Structure 1
Amino acid sequence: MPLRAAIRTIPDYPKQGILFRDITTLLGDARAFRKAVDDLVQPFAGAKIEKIAGIEARGFILGGAMAHQLSAGFIPIRKKGKLPHKTVSIAYELEYGTDEMEMHVDAVQPGERVVLVDDLIATGGTATGAIRLLKKLGAEVVAACFVIDLPDLGGARKIEALGVPVRALVAFEGH
């Protein structure tokens, strides 16, 4: 099954006019899930990736599997107030307004090679915030990986403008 066919589209969610790309169907299909993880890690085999950073919440699922495959550590990047130890945070732009995300201050060491992962790249606000947060602690962000890219929204271009290559497995037109 092609990955695109394993992704469910839900019209008018979370609001009218939006086509929500739902990866829970992909995650529930063992073959599709394995293919997605294999395709995400393939360019990094033998690349000495020390950490995978996953953005809450679907990035945790993908990132944990990727970290296992690459024998790397995992860094959870969460919404403010969810992590128990000393954290470093950054504000980032949302479609309407701003939010904050954080990670533990000792999650990454300067110079460590990190791959960022999430399920989808749209406008790029969350992912660019996560990259800035990782770089703030000295990480070398090797790439940003996503199952889905919505190229019409320009997020991948924003990430590439930060000097971070983008890898997406499937692209969908529109929002």
Structure 2
Amino acid sequence: MSIQNDVEKLYRSDLEKQRQKQKKKKKKKLLGIMLIVIIIAALILIMQYLGLGLGGGKGEGSGDGKDVSASSNEASVTTTTTAAPKEFYDIKVSGSTYIIDERVVDLKSLVSTVKLMSDNVIVRITDDNATKNAMDDLKKALTDDGREFTETVLDNSALDNSVANDVTSETVR
């Protein structure tokens, strides 16, 4: 029986050693996971402090920066309500000629006239069977000048030739 008791003691001691090793492994895993979580949290805090990542940057100037978009929206609303009313200046393009107030003018004088106008004037171009080159030249000149314009195409099939249809309601600024 003594051999059997010795074997039992050895077996029990081996079991205890294995249990202790498993407990140590669990503790090491738990410590490793906790260490990783602490490192990640520290990195996030450092990134926020430096203004990196997560979109919470420090910005420039005083204030928390949360009311910036609200104040810019208010500014845009006030500018649109106080803007001067838009006025239109009609130019008719027929073939390759430019007509203003029943007078035929060349492109250079037309552009110089438009340059003298205030910024709230919008040029309204009426296409009366105009050539593509004439329309393109006029649009390019107005765009180069930074002038806002719209286009309408004159409907020649209608009974009244003065009726204009907005075929291309293009506004360029």
Flag whether TM exceeds 0.5 (same fold): no
Higher strand share: 1
Higher helix share: 2
Larger Rg: 2
- The answer to which structure, 1 or 2, has the higher relative contact order (CA under 8 A, 6+ apart) is 1
* TM-score (norm: length of structure 2): 0.30
